Amino acid sequence: MESKSLQHKHLLSDEISRKPSHKQGSKEDEQIVAEIMGRCFTPSLITTLAWEEFHFAGHRIKITEATESYGAIVWPSALVLCYFLENNVQSYSMVDKNVIEIGAGTGLVSIVASILGARVIATDVPELLGNLQYNIRINTKAKCQHEPQVKELFWGVDLEKNFPLSSCDFDYILAADVVYHHPYLDELLLTFEHLCKGNTLIIWAMRFRHEKDYKFVDRFKTLFDLEVISDFPSLSITLFKAKRRGRAKMPLTTAS
């Protein structure tokens, strides 16, 4: 296995019998996607610091990015997840809930969850934590009931040491675009499995790019009951929710 410091850089429940279809977006899909993407403002002037501004949960959120790192850019899946949280505060209330985001990147999803009232732990690899901490601090100060935390998390590494099962009492696990072209899918699945208890709900926005993405979903379904919340064909993004089936043994990777 490669050095864990490089981890980020390589960078349906049983009732669902079909793969999400992303071949053609409907008119309704295109309208919703236009509204979601319209929440982003990109400056027209080139500056020495890359940044974008977003509008969610009644607030302007300014996110500093680093274009040389996959993990320090806001991807469309994060916007989809933020839009969902903002528009479903009754069914999926964040107020006083214990929330962890894996692969938090720039922190946009964690910021929105915090503004909506959650106790948030935003996690990622060490090289992203400085920018993540900065974005969360400037966008949540004096705006949140609970101060969000930022914590290092290598998928699959020292999970019991850093996140003991006795203290893993999360109401929600949030994830946006954590499946892409990287060699850490086994570790990602192990991390989901470790952090998720019987009452934990995973809300996961995923962009499908490769055939192996569907294979990961099939493996995920051996441990979790997975359900499609929304499908956005024009973005090739599906929004899922999931709950664990029980302490099933994690399946071994099969050769592709």
pLDDT, tens digit, 9 for 90 and up, residues 149-195? 999 999 999 999 999 999 899 999 999 999 987 888 999 999 999 99
Give the whole-number percent of the chain exceeding pLDDT 90: 68
pLDDT at residue 46 is higher than 60? no
* C-alpha dist (Å) from residue 237 to 25, 179, 195, 253: 11, 12, 24, 24
DSSP string covering 65-113, please?
--TT-GGGS--HHHHHHHHHHHH-TTTT--TT-EEEEES-TTSHHHHHH
Least confident of 127-131, 179-183, 216-220: 179-183
**Angle (CA) 192 155 10, round 5°:** 120
**pLDDT at residue 19, as a whole number:** 47
CA dihedral for 234, 222, 213, 113, sign (positive or negative) = positive
For the chain, the domains span 22-244
Superfamily of domain 22-244: Vaccinia Virus protein VP39 (3.40.50.150)
Task: Scan for tokens 């890359």, then name that residue.
Answer: 50
Mean pLDDT of 24-41: 82
Mean pLDDT of all residues belonging to the chain: 86
pLDDT at residue 205 is higher than 70? yes
CA 190 to chain centre: 16
pLDDT at residue 115 is higher than 60? yes
- Measuring CA to CA, which residue among 249, 165, 150 is closest to residue 200? 165
Q: Which amino acid is at 239?
A: L
pTM over cut 0.75? yes
**175 bridge partner residues:** 102, 204
